[in-house]
Structure 1
Amino acid sequence: MKEKELCRLIHVSQLYYEQNKTQSEIASELEISRPAVSYLLNKARKAGIVKIDVLSYHRTIRGIRHELCHRFNLKSCQVVTLPDDLYQTGADVLLEFLPKTKILGLGWGYNTDKIIKAFAQQSDMGINGGVICPLIGATTAPQRGYHPDELVKELSQKTGYTAEFLNCPAIPTTAEEQTQVLASDDYKRIEDYWKRTSTALITLGSYPSVPDHGSAMRFGRKLIEEKAVGCLLSYFFNPQGELIHGEDDYAIQIPLELLARVKNVIGFVPQEANIDSVISGLKTGYFKHLVITETLASEIIKQMDERKRI
């Protein structure tokens, strides 16, 4: 194809597809017939100058949401096209549940902190007498978001909900220390709230994790030997979503049998999440609602389809 003809095809295609001019308008501007414009546009498509991609249903946002809900038994799924909107979407989803939530359980982590930062001040939400409580103790690491009592306090100030604190470490170092925590009034009060929690917000994490959660002390080499990939609070799971037990695991966090009773567990998937860890977390069955980017959601579906073919 000669350069002059190529430029003509590009120009006609730009007028039609980018500037949204009709074929009649293009014909008038170029002083040619409308059928001639149609011929040029068809030729441009055949030459590969114009590529039209019609999405199949499962590649649309609606289709992706439906597919994830179907595969992981979710009640809802918010698929975010722009990663910059991820934290605000997480805050918006949480806001939808608060009016019908008496007790909210809050996980930990940098991403949970970012969601709370994106949460707008709500002046009248505390009128329903709601309570916010942590789902896990605090870590000694300085990383933002790993002191759940502080996250609870910040969100309570934005919602008017009452803040309840656990006041204990997430990872006691001995069985004796764990026994003391379990016998404390703070723990017993929070445990009672856990039994009545109706909504929880938890980030889907991965192994290895940052901070480390004392994994070597709690599990020895079991996390490596059993191929840990997913992390929920400070529970670790293999690729099938099965819990990995540690002989010296004294972590202070909501028992999984109580988490399973929470009606609405909102799972938040960070943009940088590992695909295998997300699949592992979703396979646990604890999550009922999900916030995830379109890119990650599509990759999860693609990877699971590929595994079926192997």
Structure 2
Amino acid sequence: MEPKQEKLHRLALVARRYYLEDRKQSDIAQELGVSRPLISRMLSEARDLGVVKITIQEPGGEASDLLERLRQYSGLRDGVLVEDGADNDETNQRLSEGAVSLLRQLRTRCLGVGWGYLIGQLVTWLQKHPQENSTVTDICPLVGNASIPARNYQSNENVRLIAQQLGAAPHFLYLPALPESLEEKQLLCSTEVYRQIQAQWNRMDTALVNIGDYPSSPDFASLVRYGSLLQQEHTCGRLLIYYFNEEGKVIRSDQDFAIQIPLETLRQCPNIIGVCSANTSVKALRGALRSGVFSHIVTRAALAKELLA
């Protein structure tokens, strides 16, 4: 190794010990068998030669940098990154606030809303923080109602409560998210109720869509809709009731009888915000971004860092 290269490597070693490993100068000196003043001079020289570059991040600077890297990674237009709270509930409330702030930035008027745990948390946040000056005029569900009692999956009730806090007009979908069969779905989708919600979907300028993990143990409905297809395709995540893998492929099945906004219609919406929860995995976020569905993202800064690492 040339003397100059050897010197640079030695400076890099000292800098790594001091800046990245948080070692004291005296400890580094003892390790290398030199004096502490020499270590101090080596650190100064490392900065002068560009071995060490110190960047001062203004408040919000790191988030801006992460968002820019996410844009380069996935083609996103923008998003909101939040810091973790003391627990998952606090983190989900911060994510909810981030989603509402993004709606303000986009000056959303006609909004479509998905379902899931984070959507229920968003309802809770809005009930504590009504948005008197919201630009939203109309809101509709993107998925039918679930048969389970959990509020997070009662699409019409969530739409009613969100509309109430945003001062918007609610539009409801009086159909089940998971009818009994493909034949029943076809019958229900031929009704006037479905045609009315289709008109709302076509008017949307913004969709708020949950990004979640694919469960390790598939539920009965997904098994009926997809058989073994989800396992074969290595499914890792979910948006609305669509499933995708880490490569971003949305899994399709001829036997899918779920009633939700058609993916082709969703893709035509100008702004599609993907909202992660505190528990969304890096695999689910990666697959969601690779799907090309989303124009905006709301997620934890720590999850974005993990994705880009």
Say whether the fold is shared (TM-score over 0.5). Answer: yes
The partner residue of 2:154 within 143, 147, 156 is: 147
How far apart are the structure 2 equivalents of 1:129 and 1:242?
Answer: 32
Match of 2:7 in 1: none
Query: Could you say which residue in structure 1 is the equivalent of 2:255?
Result: 248
Q: Normalised by the size of structure 1, how large is the TM-score?
A: 0.75
Q: Residues 102-251 of structure 1 correspond to what in structure 2 (within 5 A)?
A: 102-119=109-126, 120-125=129-134, 130-208=137-215, 212=219, 214-251=221-258
Match of 1:68 in 2: 70
In 2, the alpha carbon distance for the partners of 1:203 and 1:115 equals 11
List per-residue Cα deviations over 1:9-37 (Å, max 9, x = no partner). Answer: xxxxxxxxxxxxxxxxxxxxxxxxxxxxx
Percent identity of paired positions between Structure 1 and Structure 2: 30
Amino acid corresponding to residue 216 of structure 1 in structure 2: L
Q: Indicate conservation of the 8 Å contact 2:108/2:136, yes or no.
A: no
Q: CA deviation at 1:194?
A: 0.5
Q: What is the identity, as a one-letter code, of the residue corresponding to 1:143?
A: A
1:190-234, Cα deviation, whole Å (9 max, x unpaired)? 101111111111111121279937101100111011111121101
Residue 129 of structure 1 and its aligned partner are, at CA, apart by 7.3
State the superposition RMSD in angstroms: 2.8
Q: 1:70-95, CA deviations, whole angstroms, 9 ceiling, x for partnerless residues?
A: 11111112221233354334334424
CA contact (8 A) 2:249 2:291 kept: yes
Give the residue type in structure 2 aligned to 1:241. G
> Conserved in 1, the CA contact under 8 Å of 2:214 and 2:236?
yes
**2:93 match:** 87
Q: CA separation in 1, counterparts of 2:289 and 2:80?
A: 14
Instruction: Give the Cα separation in 1 of the matches to 2:216 and 2:259.
Output: 17
The gaps in structure 2 that reach 5 residues or longer are: 1-23, 32-51
1:107-163 alpha-carbon deviations (Å, 9 max, x no partner)? 0011111012112112353xx671100001111123331111111000011011001
- The number of equivalent residue pairs is 256
Structure 1: which 5+ runs fail to align? Answer: 1-40, 303-310
User: Residues 25-51 of structure 1: CA distance to partner in whole angstroms, max 9, x if unpaired?
Assistant: xxxxxxxxxxxxxxxx85477679xxx
Q: 1:65 to 1:210 in 2, by over 3 A?
A: farther
Matched AA of 2:140: C
